[in-house]
Structure 1
């Protein structure tokens, strides 16, 4: 008897569809979602205006895998990169290079240190992951280096190595006040 009543309630609920309260909640959530999308678009426009106003950021944006967030965050963190003697120092500060252990004059490279700026490191790794497919297909020196690296190592290792390379290129761009040219890569020591 009880099962028959529960079954009839279910069938009546199914024929009625979604309740008015649930519909109202879904409409409210959709409106809130659209409002958040508009806010995100406004913030993206603000970042783009900031990048357009800064010469350094425009130069950094010519580097593959470096977007608006990478450029603004890197400039905010390091300025003109004069605090670093060479590109490897910036990559080490970001935590993208292997830790060195030297004994008896024989250096050994250990794993990636991950001791640097976590936010910038994450941005560079994600940028490298996004740029990897197109760079691997290109006939530039960077593309040839990347193809060789992908042939002899794991894809994730190649992504982190590319992120370190892009950090070095970013340092060279900031240090020399130059833009990235794929055919004539700046050599960052």
Structure 2
């Protein structure tokens, strides 16, 4: 008899539920959230396991890899779809959630999620750490501005390089404030030095990656956007076509249809938020910074004339995702003109 497993994962413990083909609960247990402990429970020769479902979350990639390496049929399932299924349960407990996931596996009513490779996870960790350090440094800068503003000292518009000199200039003759602000400036300097180290590491990875270099032939796409796209998509072949990348990143409108009513809303904002933000920034750069004309910029400018600048940026971000996936799949580079002649504004 076939058996199906549901795992409700938390930081410390995981609720395990095993059901048979008829939906009868065969075993329920709680174990430590570690692959070895889960393997010890599920490797019993009495179980003929068909699917083992666990919800996508912070520990899912680590647990999924451990189960898969042990030869167990693990499946990582989509979070929103799982929550919608489990809403039918009156009392939400870890035990009931594990039962619900096990039943989802039994009736094959789930949406699988792609689990990234280790290299993509490491690259994504680098991008996340780089962004985190940058945000913390800017938070300190904004806090310094707010503290000085209470004393009538206005920093004004100043770049990152000249920020510390400007602050020290304002604090001349105010030793009380100097003793307070100077440690913040030192912490800010340390953060920016760490950011520089991480950014150089990122550039070295992009320099040795042929796919990233091809993606950077697109105007507005730099090393951060290219590496972010590669680490997010991971395996381009998991999409049936390039147009499927837009909905996966939450860059397509939501359709709400019921009876005679059909309403097209804003973009869904589902999927990877970081990659969506990077594509939006790349689209902004192409429309506002890049001066060289291309067929893609001309297409976006036509949308801006009809629908407005904001919608043009979103549409361009979506098309950038499609083009980047196609370049990655075909091994080609960006063509500035479709006809082979220089594009004209």
TM-score by length of 1: 0.77
- Give the secondary structure class of the aligned counterpart of 1:42: helix
Query: What does 1:25-174 correspond to in 2, within 5 Å?
Result: 25-100=180-255, 109-134=264-289, 138-174=292-328
Change (3 A) 1:176 1:102: farther
Higher relative contact order (CA 8 A, sep 6+): 1
Q: Relative to structure 2, which stretch is displaced further, 48-57 or 58-67?
A: 58-67
Cα distance, 1:31 vs structure 2: 2.2
Q: Relative to structure 2, which stretch is displaced further, 34-43 or 61-70?
A: 61-70
Tell me, yes or no, if structure 1 residue 24 matches structure 2 residue 176.
no
Q: Relative to structure 2, which stretch is displaced further, 143-152 or 154-163?
A: 143-152
- Give the secondary structure class of the aligned counterpart of 1:183: coil
Name the CA distance, whole Å, in 2 between partners of 1:100 and 1:88: 17
Alpha-carbon displacement from aligned partner over 1:3-57 (angstroms, at most 9, x marks no partner): xxxxxxxxxxxxx9423x4323333222222222211111111100010111111
Change (3 A) 1:138 1:67: closer
Change (3 A) 1:169 1:30: same
More helix by share: 1
- Give the secondary structure class of the aligned counterpart of 2:285: helix
Tell me, yes or no, if the aligned pair for 1:80 and 1:174 is still in contact at 8 Å. no
Alignment length (residue pairs): 167
Cα distance, 1:110 vs structure 2: 3.7
More strand by share: 2
Runs of 4+ in structure 1 over 3 Å off: 100-104, 107-110
TM-score by length of 2: 0.44
Name the CA distance, whole Å, in 2 between partners of 1:127 and 1:98: 20
- Give the secondary structure class of the aligned counterpart of 1:39: helix
Tell me, yes or no, if the aligned pair for 2:280 and 2:317 is still in contact at 8 Å. yes
Unaligned runs of 5+ in 2: 1-171, 340-345
Alpha-carbon displacement from aligned partner over 1:94-122 (angstroms, at most 9, x marks no partner): 01112345789xx8744311122212111
